[in-house]
């Protein structure tokens, strides 16, 4: 009963009570996972609220911009610090990332940094190689063990109380987004009824459907990019590059490149490897919103090439 109440409480206040000596269950905490389950089920309400051009376009826009928020801010900034931003913009980036409903920047960055330390090893929480596709895609982040994070891994971020606040109340920004969508839809229904939308319609399309599609888009990098695709570099993990996933995730699909050199803001190393997130970051740099956007050193491009190894093996066989 105590554990059930603890799970219910953490729907609203996600205090990180990490204890390095504690043993956390690597099983889904169904009570705490209930909001995520209900969010998925709420997509079925589309059969009751219908659709309109306004609602569908809103869903598409919020899907795309939040894919960018996750890749540009949660991943390339908070997890890898591949460029610099002042404290004001850092806070704005954390709010934007939180709108994706993928928890706070501290939680996200901690688990991703650990992923690079133990990639595709047993300790890697979302490795499909170790734990299977379904767990790496959706199960791992619902487990009791992975609700917590080791704050020592993000000591550079925990010194900012505003980031700690957003991480503790990680549901606040998504709820505000949902409320704004409902209000916007209600106002449109009242003042512009010809558009055929409503508060609940905007809520279902703009928040529920858009957020679930967003989630399944971003986590493909965990579950699919470590199984399928091409490998330019011989890394210690099973990361792959995928042109299709790179398009869907605005550049995150060049995952083998990223694991080869995670310190770069650019993940599409070659000119033809489309990396929309990187292009936008460079524009933000020109607008003086961010600075020191890291590129890939030329020396890195020629190291550990998988193609060279294959050619070498072929040459040995011919000899």
pLDDT digits over 84-105, tens only? 999 999 999 999 999 999 999 9
CB atoms within 10 A of CB 121: 13
What token pair was written down for 194? 């010809």
> Residues with Cβ < 8 Å from 169, sequence gap 6 or more?
12, 13, 14
As a whole number of angstroms, the distance between CA 218 and CA 138 comes to: 11
What is the DSSP-derived secondary structure letter of residue 84? B
**In terms of pLDDT, which residue wins out, 131 or 314?**
131
Q: Grade residue 310 by pLDDT with cuts at 50, 70 and 90.
A: very low
As a whole number of angstroms, the distance between CA 9 and CA 148 comes to: 15
Highest mean pLDDT among 137-146, 216-225, 305-314: 216-225
Q: Is residue 217 helix, strand or coil? A: helix
pLDDT of residue 281: 98
Burial classification of residue 305, based on how many CB atoms lie within 10 Å of its CB (0-12 exposed, 13-18 middle, 19 or more buried): middle
CB atoms within 10 A of CB 270: 13
Greatest Cα-to-Cα distance within the chain, rounded to the nearest angstrom: 79
Choice among 16-20, 68-72, 187-191 with the minimum mean pLDDT:
16-20
Answer whether residue 1 shows pLDDT above 70: no
Query: Do 70 and 118 meet the contact criterion of CB atoms below 8 Å apart?
Result: no
pLDDT of residue 23: 65
> Residues with Cβ < 8 Å from 289, sequence gap 6 or more?
85, 89
As a whole number of angstroms, the distance between CA 242 and CA 230 comes to: 7
Residues 41, 111, 167, 158, Cα dihedral to 10°: 180
Across the range 50-61, mean pLDDT stands at 98
Q: What is the pTM of this model?
A: 0.92
What token pair was written down for 130? 């170790």
pLDDT of residue 283: 98
Nearest residue to 185 via CA among 207, 205, 204, 202: 202
Q: How many CA atoms lie within 13 A of 219 on its CB side?
A: 23
Average of per-residue pLDDT values in the chain: 91
Answer whether residue 269 shows pLDDT above 50: yes
């Amino acid at each position: 009963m105590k554990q059930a109440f603890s799970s219910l409480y953490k729907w609203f206040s996600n205090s990180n009570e990490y204890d390095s000596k504690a043993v956390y269950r690597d099983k889904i905490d169904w009570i705490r996972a209930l909001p995520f389950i209900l969010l998925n089920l709420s997509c079925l309400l589309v059969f009751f609220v219908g659709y309109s051009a306004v609602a569908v376009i809103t869903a598409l826009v919020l899907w795309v911009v939040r894919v960018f928020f996750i890749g540009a801010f949660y991943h390339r900034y908070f997890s890898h610090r591949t460029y610099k931003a002042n404290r004001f913009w850092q806070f704005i980036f954390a709010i934007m990332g939180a709108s994706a409903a993928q928890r706070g920047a501290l939680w996200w960055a901690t688990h991703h940094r650990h992923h690079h330390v133990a990639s595709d090893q047993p300790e890697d929480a979302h490795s499909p190689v170790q734990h299977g596709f379904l767990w790496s895609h959706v199960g791992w982040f619902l487990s009791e063990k992975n609700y917590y994070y080791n704050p020592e891994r993000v000591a550079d971020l925990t010194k900012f109380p505003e980031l700690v606040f957003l991480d503790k109340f990680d549901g606040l920004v998504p709820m505000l987004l949902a409320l704004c969508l409902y209000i916007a839809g209600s106002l449109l229904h009242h003042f512009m009824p010809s558009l055929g939308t409503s508060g609940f319609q905007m809520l279902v399309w703009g928040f529920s459907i858009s957020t679930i599609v967003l989630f399944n888009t971003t986590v493909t990098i965990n579950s699919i990019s470590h199984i399928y695709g091409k490998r330019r570099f011989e890394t210690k993990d099973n990361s792959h590059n995928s042109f299709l996933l790179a398009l869907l995730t605005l550049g995150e699909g060049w995952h083998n490149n990223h694991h080869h050199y995670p310190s770069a803001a650019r993940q599409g190393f070659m000119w033809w490897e489309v990396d929309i997130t990187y292009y936008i970051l460079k524009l933000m740099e020109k607008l003086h919103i961010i600075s020191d956007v890291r590129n890939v050193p030329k020396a890195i491009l020629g190291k550990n090439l998988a193609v060279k190894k294959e050619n070498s093996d072929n040459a040995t066989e011919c000899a």
